[in-house]
Chain A
């Protein structure tokens, strides 16, 4: 077929990319991912989006523009993901994502769009998948095969995350070259130069997947473990999160995220809540927090929230209250927004790690 599908490196990319990549590749399409988030992508996104959208949605628009500008893609993949399980939903902004992009950005390559809504069961699910394949000119039999393979790759990815890898590292270990770190333009130079003392997020990623994952899994230094919770598109995007995870690792901290805890465990833990949370992503975070409260294993917990996020305002609060009530471990909420001044985040991170370390020493 020879068509190329562009995938924005934003939002659900961090949870599903291996699946999408495999699916499109099996259908004979090439797959291109937008660059790692950088200042330009953020600026483009902020300009293109309505003001009241949240930061990750603005960043998503920036990535769409990045793909559109490169001009190498025939389609941009923007699925309408309403729900991925019964009676639970993804944030409403995802429901309107293709429409939002279509109305905010013109001209644009054609959008590959399909509606995934499993909230009332999987009746229409296969039709949505076939529909997606048809837009690329593939027959149902081929689509089915591609889909099954894609799902098995996704499971492989999830296992890699559970082994303590970050999404980029997990994709790397699966041989999915996502062109990471192109954002700095220093891929070669960065790897060759002597490692500076601290604050080298991109370098940490370059080493990613290999020594890094092992070091992270085993931990080093005094074996401090900190859970970094938050929507994956905030915690794993090193530009907008101001490299919280790489910074913690540089301080010798082992980082644990919700995705590293198997879903069965977070799901079981989340049922301790009186009412089932109907946000899929939020329930995972809450489940992870409740799991840590019950079973320990971490010395502190950070919650990364983007300013103006509806679900975070409830889920973050719920987690904070639970943690404080049980007196389980130190907790800190870090709010991220469009600002580029890193001082605030760095000071808070340092103080948080200091607090735990000094507390242990006594």
Chain B
């Protein structure tokens, strides 16, 4: 059997999936990036390899903010931005999807599709108030495991109104409501509604949000957020089964497309990469006042990639 690997290295989580020729998920891994993307990508591949012993890997793709780094580790056939990857995955899972709401660790995006084609998209600009990192932070502060956050929100009776415009104001608003004696469920639910309001005003501004609507990304695990979206939009919101690894699924599908288009073999370096020594070293280039921070990616003592310079003089090895 043939399979394709997709790797999505995000700010908060790193996801690795293996899919078959039909795009069905064979196995998936969701890991926290924890500031160590190289190690986590290797860890993810190791976990996937265990399930793929009798599968021939015919292609690999990477996406997410660490897509370039991941691509040199795994040997990617396709390195794509996360908008394209998420859109491709959503159309695969829910054919005819017209709106994709995606909320990840540090950014959130909306993708508008018509007839299977992306026609518009937006990402959060200067504000991360509605993203997963903020929810994470609030959950920690309230001493609630993030996994229970959403279910708690569903128990709310009278959601309190929280300012969603800014993470700092939202936090002080929450503290205020909590000191006033509001129930924690109502506060948590109010927070979900505030984040949705902020998302729709900011990221979704001026967008024509039509069903079917798919909600994906790590935050889609939060049932409170799903319900808040449904309440605000007046539409059913679909959370796909593999909502938290959709980027990786998209990367794998794109890799399969690319390998077929190109007609040559895959660049995937095999599961042995999990045991290789990778190291990243950086230095400040003093060639000009830009003082670019240049990163060297070293595999078993050899520099295999270099980036970070604006002028490109270090990029050629």
What is A's interface to B at a CB cutoff of 8 Å? 35, 38-41, 183-186, 189-190, 193-194, 196-197, 199-203, 239, 243, 307, 320-321, 324, 330-332, 335, 337, 343-344, 346-348, 350-351, 354-355, 358-359, 362
Question: With A and B bound together, what is the CA distance between A337 and B127 in angstroms?
Answer: 13
Q: Bits for B29-65, please: 1 = Cβ < 8 Å to A, else 0.
A: 0000000000000000000000000000000000001
Question: With A and B bound together, what is the CA distance between A344 and B65 in angstroms?
Answer: 9
Q: Contact: A186 with B81, CB < 8 Å? A: no
Q: Does B117 contact A (CB under 8 A)?
A: yes
Q: A39-B291, A183-B288 are in contact. Are A359 and B119 (CB under 8 A)?
A: yes
Q: Contact: A355 with B84, CB < 8 Å? A: yes
Q: Contact: A337 with B126, CB < 8 Å? A: yes
**Chain A, interface SS category:** helix
Given contacts A185-B288, A201-B312, A347-B81, 10 further A-B contacts (CB under 8 A): A35-B289, A189-B313, A190-B311, A200-B312, A201-B310, A201-B311, A335-B125, A346-B81, A347-B65, A354-B118
Chain A nearest Cβ from B261, distance in angstroms: 11
Across-interface contacts of A38 in B (CB, < 8 A): 288-290
Chain A nearest Cβ from B262, distance in angstroms: 15
Question: With A and B bound together, what is the CA distance between A348 and B206 in angstroms?
Answer: 18
Question: With A and B bound together, what is the CA distance between A321 and B205 in angstroms?
Answer: 11
Across-interface contacts of B211 in A (CB, < 8 A): none
Q: Does B277 contact A (CB under 8 A)?
A: no
Q: Contact: B290 with A196, CB < 8 Å? A: no
B289 contacts which of A183, A344, A354 (Cβ < 8 Å)? A183
B121 contacts which of A183, A186, A355, A362 (Cβ < 8 Å)? A355
Across-interface contacts of A354 in B (CB, < 8 A): 80-81, 83-84, 118
Closest residue of chain A to B292, judged by CB? A39
Closest residue of chain B to A348, judged by CB? B123
Across-interface contacts of A350 in B (CB, < 8 A): 80-81, 84
Q: A38-B289, A335-B125 are in contact. Are A351 and B84 (CB under 8 A)?
A: yes
List CB contacts (< 8 Å) of B270-306 with chain A: 287-291
B315 contacts which of A196, A351, A355, A359 (Cβ < 8 Å)? A196
Q: Contact: B313 with A193, CB < 8 Å? A: yes
Q: Contact: A39 with B289, CB < 8 Å? A: yes
B126 contacts which of A324, A335, A358, A359 (Cβ < 8 Å)? A335
Q: Does B193 contact A (CB under 8 A)?
A: no
Across-interface contacts of B82 in A (CB, < 8 A): 347, 351
Q: Bits for B123-152, please: 1 = Cβ < 8 Å to A, else 0.
A: 101100000000000000000000000000
Ordered by A's residue number, 21 sampled pairs between the chains whose C-beta atoms are within 8 Å are A38-B290, A40-B289, A184-B287, A185-B288, A193-B313, A196-B315, A199-B312, A201-B312, A202-B311, A203-B311, A239-B310, A307-B126, A330-B120, A343-B65, A351-B83, A355-B83, A358-B118, A359-B118, A359-B119, A362-B115, A362-B117
What is B's interface to A at a CB cutoff of 8 Å? 65, 80-84, 115-123, 125-126, 206, 287-291, 310-313, 315-316
Question: With A and B bound together, what is the CA distance between A175 and B82 in angstroms?
Answer: 43
Across-interface contacts of A40 in B (CB, < 8 A): 289-291
Question: With A and B bound together, what is the CA distance between A200 and B84 in angstroms?
Answer: 23
Across-interface contacts of A321 in B (CB, < 8 A): 206
Q: Contact: B310 with A202, CB < 8 Å? A: yes
Question: With A and B bound together, what is the CA distance between A324 and B288 in angstroms?
Answer: 42
**Chain B, interface SS category:** loop
Q: A194-B316, A330-B120 are in contact. Are A184 and B290 (CB under 8 A)?
A: yes
Question: With A and B bound together, what is the CA distance between A35 and B289 in angstroms?
Answer: 10
Question: With A and B bound together, what is the CA distance between A347 and B63 in angstroms?
Answer: 10
Task: Report, nearest first, the 10 A-B pairs whose CB atoms are least far apart.
Answer: A40-B289, A351-B83, A185-B288, A200-B312, A184-B311, A350-B81, A196-B315, A355-B118, A38-B289, A39-B290
Q: Contact: B83 with A183, CB < 8 Å? A: no
Q: Contact: A186 with B83, CB < 8 Å? A: no
Closest residue of chain B to A243, judged by CB? B310
Q: A347-B123, A348-B123, A362-B115 are in contact. Are A193 and B316 (CB under 8 A)?
A: yes
Closest residue of chain B to A351, judged by CB? B83
Chain A nearest Cβ from B267, distance in angstroms: 14
Q: Contact: B84 with A203, CB < 8 Å? A: no
A41 contacts which of B116, B289, B310 (Cβ < 8 Å)? B289
Q: Contact: A344 with B123, CB < 8 Å? A: yes
Closest residue of chain B to A334, judged by CB? B125
Most buried by A among B65, B81, B118, B311: B311
Chain B nearest Cβ from A286, distance in angstroms: 18
Question: With A and B bound together, what is the CA distance between A307 and B125 in angstroms?
Answer: 10
A184 contacts which of B65, B122, B310, B315 (Cβ < 8 Å)? B310
Across-interface contacts of A348 in B (CB, < 8 A): 83, 123
Across-interface contacts of A335 in B (CB, < 8 A): 125-126
Across-interface contacts of A337 in B (CB, < 8 A): 126
Across-interface contacts of B117 in A (CB, < 8 A): 355, 358-359, 362
Chain A nearest Cβ from B256, distance in angstroms: 15
Chain B nearest Cβ from A39, distance in angstroms: 5
Question: With A and B bound together, what is the CA distance between A184 and B285 in angstroms?
Answer: 11
Across-interface contacts of A203 in B (CB, < 8 A): 311-312
